[in-house]
A = this chain, B = another copy of it.
Amino acid sequence: MGKNQPQNKKREALNIPAGRRVTSYDVARLAGVSQSAVSRCFKPGGSASAKTREKVLAAAKELGWQPNALARGLITQRSNIVAVLISGNVNLYYPEVLFALTHRLSEEKLRVMLFTVDSEDDVDPVLDQISQFQVDAVISASHMRREHAERFEETNTPLVFFNRYFEDRSSDVILCDPEPQTRQLVKRLSDQGHSRFAVVSGPATNMVSRTRLRGVRAAVEAEGGTIITEAPGDFTYESGAAALHRLMECTERPTAIVCANDMMAMGLIDEARTVFRLRVPEDLSVTGFDGIATARLASYDLTTIRQPIGRMCDAAVAVLREQLDRPERTYEKRVFEGLLIDGATIGPVPDVY
Contacts and interface: CB of A to CB of B under 8 A. Distances in A.
A269 B269 CA distance: 18
A91 B237 CA distance: 19
A270 B294 contact: no
A111 B130 CA distance: 10
B6 A156 contact: yes
Contact of A114 (B2, B102, B129, B328): B102
Contacts of A270: 297-299
A134 interface: yes
Contact of A294 (B92, B154, B155, B271): B92
A68 interface: yes
A300 B3 CA distance: 46
A229 to B, nearest CB: 23
* Copies of this chain, count: 2
Interface in A1-60: 2-4, 6, 8, 21
Contact of A112 (B79, B94, B114, B330): B114
A70 B136 CA distance: 12
A153 interface: yes
Contacts of A269: 299
Interface size on A, as a range, is: 35 or more
B297 A237 contact: yes
A279 interface: no
Contacts of A274: 298
B103 A116 contact: yes
A275 to B, nearest CB: 9
A222 interface: no
Interface centre among A4, A99, A102, A132 (most CB of B within 10 A): A99
A224 interface: no
A71 B74 contact: yes
Contact of A6 (B8, B84, B155): B155
Contacts of A21: 77
A99 B84 CA distance: 13
A129 B108 CA distance: 13
A68 B111 contact: no
A248 interface: no
A220 to B, nearest CB: 28
11 contacts: A3-B153, A3-B330, A64-B155, A74-B74, A92-B92, A98-B114, A103-B116, A237-B297, A267-B297, A270-B299, A273-B299
Given A70-B70, A267-B297, 11 more contacts: A70-B73, A70-B79, A71-B74, A92-B95, A95-B99, A102-B115, A111-B129, A113-B113, A266-B297, A270-B297, A270-B298
Interface of A: 2-4, 6, 8, 21, 64, 66-71, 73-74, 77, 79, 81, 84, 88, 90, 92, 94-95, 98-99, 102-103, 106, 111-116, 128-129, 131-134, 153-156, 237, 266-267, 269-271, 273-274, 293-294, 297-300, 327-328, 330
